[in-house]
Structure 1
Amino acid sequence: MTPQLLAGKRGVIFGALDDQSIAWQIADVCAEMGAKFTLTNAPVAMRFGTISELAEKHGCEVIPADATSIEDMENLFQKSEEILGGKLDFVCHAIGMSLNVRKGRPYTDIKHEWMLKTFDISAVSFHKMCQVLFKGDHMADHGSILGLTYIASQRTFPDYSEMAESKALLESFARSFGYHFGEKNGVRVNTVSQSPTMTTAGKGVKGFKEFFGYADKMSPLGNAPARDCANYCATLFSDYTRFVTMQNLFHDGGFSNMGMSPKLIEQTADEE
């Protein structure tokens, strides 16, 4: 039986596109653990995904919203409170998009107007989300806000392009808002740095399949599956982590602390 860690909790989950999305897995786990929530994604993304199937599965409502729009965020959280019957205990931001990556433009020749769009969608949206939650007093005391990130915020992964800077900015916003929310009403704000994951967005990065295999060999526990990431996120929404805030938490099978892997050295030697 699934532990009811989130019984009675209310939340909003951003970014579920299809069943390969980490946000989709988070929604599944939160529902199984007793939470009620609304789902949201950008109207354009919803046309290409199957979020309505997820909503039907869990009997929840979908509220279309552009995360770069303050007006849309205000409407989203106001409606969510009305639907769920109270303030929010958790909010999950699982949003990221880069036109430069999608179009295969090299980092040394990116379009800067696209880069600014990447920052707005992938990082500034987190600040806008937190700002609306803060000013509108939408978060319940001791609630939890979480953003999904990646280790490219701290290390160079050339094909990840300006998404790396986006994730670094996202993590900084989480730390800064973590202070303000903590002082206000004990709400904690964290980011989870997940392993490479076979999502629709992830597979759009050049060389992703090869890097997925490399990371899997480099990590002592292997790459963390999306479902396990969802379980970890659920613990951060629960009351068991009420004093964890302003942290970037690695959920990556140990990859982030590895320097070298004997398995990869042996593989290279065998190939030679």
Structure 2
Amino acid sequence: MSHNLLQGKKGIIFGALNDQSIAWKVALKCHEQGAGIVLTNAPIALRMGEINKLAEAINAPVIGADVTNLSDINNLIEKSVEHFGGKIDFILHSVGMSMNMRKGNPYTDLNYDFTLKTMDISSISFHKVMQAAYQKDAMNDWGSIAALTYIAAQRVFPDYSEMADAKALLESIARSWGYHFGIKNKVRVNTISQSPTRTTAGGGVKGFDGFMDFAEKMSPLGNADADACADYVVTLFSDLTRYVTMQNLFHDGGYSSTGVTQTVIQQMEKQ
């Protein structure tokens, strides 16, 4: 349902690969609420994914950008401002990749070259995007920037490997930039700690089905799906959340605040 919460607003969305992606859902919801969108992803993702189908559906240009490459990011910001004919109101960072997980390397035996790449893609890229937008004065006053994270930044999930470290860094970067962007022009910066969600990236985590099942049993409201996450992102991009910044916001059905549930107790007692 459209309430025109983003009417007249303009934003960049990173990471829409296919219709399973949270970023894809966010783009659709933002468009539904009246926003203009620029879509972006890495060149390899543009070749492998279905982003052009989304672009056609929401009448959005696609500007490729390797998030580890400052020249690409600067070009993306400049071309987006040019496309919109003015500054940007919101940015979604929905980017993450771990070569160690892809190669099956456990946390106790990391390839550190892979780890540095993980950090660059999954968290330092967030800093690079905001630095480019800040230095180019590309954000409108009272704009909003958000990134997707996971509770593994605070708690141990053994098979999440060094992505947990990357998410912790991502959340720290959000806090620091929230201060600097807030002082400059009231732009707020937050991270959204989402329930485990069946996406192309999420499904690649070892034991993911177990994550999903356990989180469902531990969440009073159940797991939040990608559509619900997209709705939440819309509220953060809207003017209704102008004073929410530098926060890690749990969107997880209550999982993060629950010690144990009766369902889990009963399941353990049966064993």
What one-letter code is carried by the residue in structure 2 that aligns with 1:6? L
User: C-alpha separation between the residues in 1 aligned to 2:231 and 2:35?
Assistant: 13
Provide the residue aligned with 1:5 in structure 2.
5
Return the TM-score normalized by structure 2.
0.99
Give how far 1:85 is off: 1.8
The separation in 2 between residues aligned to 1:90 and 1:245, in whole angstroms, is 13
Give, in angstroms, the shift of residue 177 of structure 1: 0.5
Confirm whether residue 104 of structure 1 aligns to residue 112 of structure 2: no
In 2, Cα distance between equivalents of 1:193 and 1:210: 18
Deviation at 1:257, TM superposition (A): 0.5
Structure 2 CA distance for aligned equivalents of residues 11 and 68 of structure 1: 20
Residue correspondence of structure 1 range 1-272 to structure 2 within 5 A: 1-270=1-270, 272=271
Counterparts of 1:209 and 1:2 in 2: how far apart (Å)? Answer: 33
TM-score (norm 1): 0.99
Q: Distance in 1 between matches of 2:229 and 2:3?
A: 16
Task: Give the letter aligned to residue 62 of structure 1.
Answer: V
Shift of 1:155: 0.5
Give 1:102 deviation, angstroms. 1.0
| Alignment gaps of 5+ in structure 1 | none
Q: 1:218-239: per-residue Cα shift (whole Å, max 9, x none)?
A: 0000000100000000000000
Identity of aligned residues (%): 61
1:102-154 deviation digits (Å, cap 9, x = unpaired): 11111101101000000000000000001001001000010001010000000
Shift of residue 46 of structure 1? 1.3
- Give the letter aligned to residue 166 of structure 1: A
Q: Could you tell me which amino acid in structure 2 is paired with residue 173 of structure 1?
A: I
Unaligned runs of 5+ in 2: none
The residue identity in structure 1 corresponding to 2:218 is: M
- 1:221, 1:123 → 2: CA distance? 29
CA distance in 2, matches of 1:230, 1:86: 25
How much does 1:66 deviate? 0.5
Q: Distance in 1 between matches of 2:203 and 2:268?
A: 25
Structure 1 counterpart SS, 2:181: helix
Q: Runs ≥4 in structure 1, deviation > 4 angstroms? A: none
Note the aligned Cα RMSD (angstroms): 0.7
SS of equivalent to 1:77 = helix
Classify the secondary structure of the residue corresponding to 2:86.
coil
Q: Distance in 2 between matches of 1:90 and 1:265?
A: 43
